[in-house]
Amino acid sequence: MPQARGRKRPPPRRRPQRRPLRPRRRRVNGRRRLLALLILSVLAFMAISGRLIVLQVFDAGSLDQAAARQRTTVIDLPATRGRIFDRNLNDLAISIPARSVWADPRLVKDKPGTAARLAKVLGVKKATLAGRLASKGRFVYLVRRVPKARGDIVQRLNLPGVFVEGAVARRYPSGSVAAQVLGFVDIDGNGQAGIEQQYDGLLRGNAGKILLERDPQGRAIPQGRRSLEPAEPGTDLVLTIDQHLQYVTEQALFRAVRQHKAKAGSVVVMSPPTGEVLAMANVPTFDPNRITARTKAEARKNRAIADVFEPGSTNKTITAAAALQHGIVTPRTETIVPDNIPLCPEKTFRDSHSHAPELMTFADIVAKSSNVGTIMAARDLGRERLYKAELDFGYGRKSGVDLPGESPGIVRDAKSWYCTDLGTNAIGQGVAVTVLQMASVYATVANHGVLRAPTLLRGTVDARGHIAKAARKPGRRVLSARTAKSLSKILEGVVKEGGTGTQAAMEEWRVAGKTGTARKPDNVRGGYRPGAYVGSFIGYAPAEKPAVVVAVVIDEPTRGYYGGSVAAPVFREVTGTALRRLGVVPTLPAKAVR
């Protein structure tokens, strides 16, 4: 036992310590991170792949178009606007080569320097060009439709971001001649008035274009896509206007307006058998080559078709025509005519000059322009027939002339006439007409009672230079040929001794016509304006076989105002020129010619 006690015990066994679990967790976390990274990579790949599919498959067309738009430039090729000729094929309006200069402001490196260099060439202020170059867009016009020589100089300067393109400019070789008839075009070449506007669809043609690709510096890519769509030129027009007659008419009218210190004036020259307008003049006028914002609207307006006036005694021709047509009178019908007639209790009409009761034939009543004698005939005629005659001659509606801006005039329905309206209508008051309408009235009488719609288009010219005549509307009979002949005889008496239009008489041809002197209404206060008149003379020649009708209207003359003194001399000068231009042989005996 002692040995047993003395025996050493073996040391206790140590339990093996467990290894910490942390390394295992690290491995798990690493796997998770790899898995997450893999998932994210897959998702990113899928997103990129999906985006690529969208871009390359679904949006490929639109992106390709967007890219093409960035490098593709379309240059418009303006069509050459059709020329306008007079009846003898003289140029009235032409189109000439020009240049337009534009810029891409983002490509212009030295904007002040570029503006300074261009200002010297283009004749535009430096500040104006600098302001345009300051634009934030990719395209801005610096100037448009400048002479070709200037554009070519800009082209040779080779300024970065500045480009020159072809253009067409409209020019009127005769300046202001027939300006209101021809009209003008705007900066885009669109007709804005007159024939230019009326026939814009024919004149403008169809524009073409060039499509090409440019690099970021604006230079054409040599191997890039290019295509050309050529422009189709507009149709050339031949007008009924005679350029020389138009010039003479304008000069004669201008002198009359200046001599009598008038506000304005108009003249219309027509061919009775065809309705062709040979000349249409207005004063004041303008130069369509120099149209600007400062050009007055009154100068651009074609007064002969746009403004209306009370015709005064020239309207007595319609009263006389209706009275003759319905058998109320004959040229030899005699009537005792006093110098006044009380048509209504509150209104008495008077002749322009007081006189004792006088025995007059109806022909004398017209020749001496008696208001009282005319109203007496109208009273027997009645308001319904007088009103119908005014409508038959074209009052109250547009004549149909091929020009924009025509007024229909003013005529009140006979059912709404007051007691005085029969008298006022008979002598040309209470109605309002245009100069062209009055010319058409006399052209109807001159054309044996058949009314022809006035026209300015004689024909068109095709690509081979052949002229195709314009279609004409059929005439409409207003008077019998017998009545028209009787009326012409009466109107001849107006220009003979004792008539009111002796200053319209011509040495080579017999003339028929009528004077007119009318007061101007006051549109603000009512009634008539003191001292404001319209003097006119309208007639035709030769009286036995009329070839030309001329209507002359002088607005607000202050040195004399009777139509026989302010308008008749213009008629004589213009009619003489017109008959000679038309080759009409003098019809009066040689001994009557001085």
Measured CA to CA in angstroms, residue 274 lies from 290, 374, 406, 546, 568 at distances of 34, 31, 20, 12, 24
Task: Give the C-alpha separation, 379 to 383, whole Å.
Answer: 8
- DSSP, collapsed to helix, strand or coil, labels residue 250 as helix
Return all residues near 429 (Cβ < 8 A) that are at least 6 apart.
310, 312, 518, 519
* Consecutive H or E run containing 32: helix 22-53
Residue 382 structure tokens? 């009645």
H helix count then E strand count, the chain = 21, 21
- Is the dihedral angle over the CA atoms 144, 146, 149, 154 positive or is it negative? negative
Task: Give the C-alpha separation, 110 to 322, whole Å.
Answer: 79
Q: Which amino acid is at 137?
A: G
Return all residues near 285 (Cβ < 8 A) that are at least 6 apart.
176, 179, 180, 250, 299
Active site residue 488: no
Measured CA to CA in angstroms, residue 87 lies from 92, 240, 334, 339, 443 at distances of 10, 5, 47, 49, 20
Strand pairing partners for 212?
Answer: 73, 226
Task: Give the C-alpha separation, 47 to 382, whole Å.
Answer: 95
Dihedral, CA of residue 440, residue 443, residue 447 and residue 448, to nearest 10: 90
CB 279 within 8 A of CB 86: no
Task: Give the C-alpha separation, 310 to 425, whole Å.
Answer: 10
Q: Which residue, 268, 352, 324, is CA-closest to 482?
A: 324
Task: Give the C-alpha separation, 487 to 19, whole Å.
Answer: 140
- Other C-beta atoms within 10 Å of 88: how many? 11
Return all residues near 483 (Cβ < 8 A) that are at least 6 apart.
321, 324, 325, 449
- DSSP, collapsed to helix, strand or coil, labels residue 417 as coil
Alpha helices for 105-210 (secondary structure H): 111-122, 126-133, 148-157, 179-182, 194-198, 200-203
Q: Which residue, 428, 211, 214, is CA-closest to 320?
A: 428
100, 174, 271, 313: which is the annotated catalytic residue? 313
User: Active-site residues: which are they?
Assistant: 313
